[in-house]
Amino acid sequence: ILKMVAPRGMSFSSKGPGSVLRFDGKDLRIGIVNARWNNDIIDLLLAGAKKALKDAGVKDENIVIQTVPGSYELPLAVTGMANAGKTAGAPFDAIIAIGALIKGHTMHFEYIADAVSHGLMRVQIDTGCPVIFGLLTLLNAAQGMERAGADGGHNHGEDWGYAAVELGSKRRAWG
């Protein structure tokens, strides 16, 4: 077993999806459903996701965005979007669900986080449409702003955009 040792004062990190694999999004149709709660965080994540989609070649007219009040509404709205796309003969290749849940003083956060996580997994298994999990489960708003790339940091929304293009492309290959 090869053991990697970081030089003194440095640490190795394998966090994140690794280097971005390039997939061509020019023919893909991507949906985004975002919750409006904690909208400072959401707006940045949404911008990051759109930036990545465009960078991967997804056309503006093939990016459809809907909003819902809060994260709890995401699974049903994503289901509706996936089904509506199929019915209209313009199926979505992937849908990104974006929400930011911030822990409060009651058990509310735990219940919603659990329900939404399971709900979104169920949607993609049931519909066959890849659902990208853009739900941040946060201990405070500052964690969310950091993950949304405020102050020039890494914006997780970009990862979700690229993940949507990768899964959308792969799903086409799977048939």
Our finding on whether 71 is near ligand DLZ (CB under 6 A) is: yes
**Choice from 37, 54, 55, 133 touching ligand DLZ (CB under 6 A):** 37
Shortest distance, position 113 Cβ to ligand DLZ, whole Å: 9
Our finding on whether 144 is near ligand DLZ (CB under 6 A) is: no
CA–CA gap between residue 128 and residue 71 (Å, rounded): 21
Shortest distance, position 135 Cβ to ligand DLZ, whole Å: 8
Shortest distance, position 137 Cβ to ligand DLZ, whole Å: 9
Instruction: Kindly state the tokens that stand for 167.
Output: 């899964």
For ligand DLZ, which is the closer residue by CB, 49 or 101? 101
# of chain residues touching ligand DLZ (CB under 6 A): 15
Q: Report DSSP letters for 6-27, one per residue.
A: PPTT------SS-SPPP---TT
Instruction: Kindly state the tokens that stand for 108.
Output: 């509310």
Our finding on whether 133 is near ligand DLZ (CB under 6 A) is: no
Q: Which stretches within the chain are classed as H helix?
A: 39-55, 74-87, 108-127, 141-147, 156-174
CA–CA gap between residue 115 and residue 76 (Å, rounded): 11
Give me the residue whose beta carbon is nearest to ligand DLZ: 70
Instruction: Show which residues are catalytic.
Output: 108
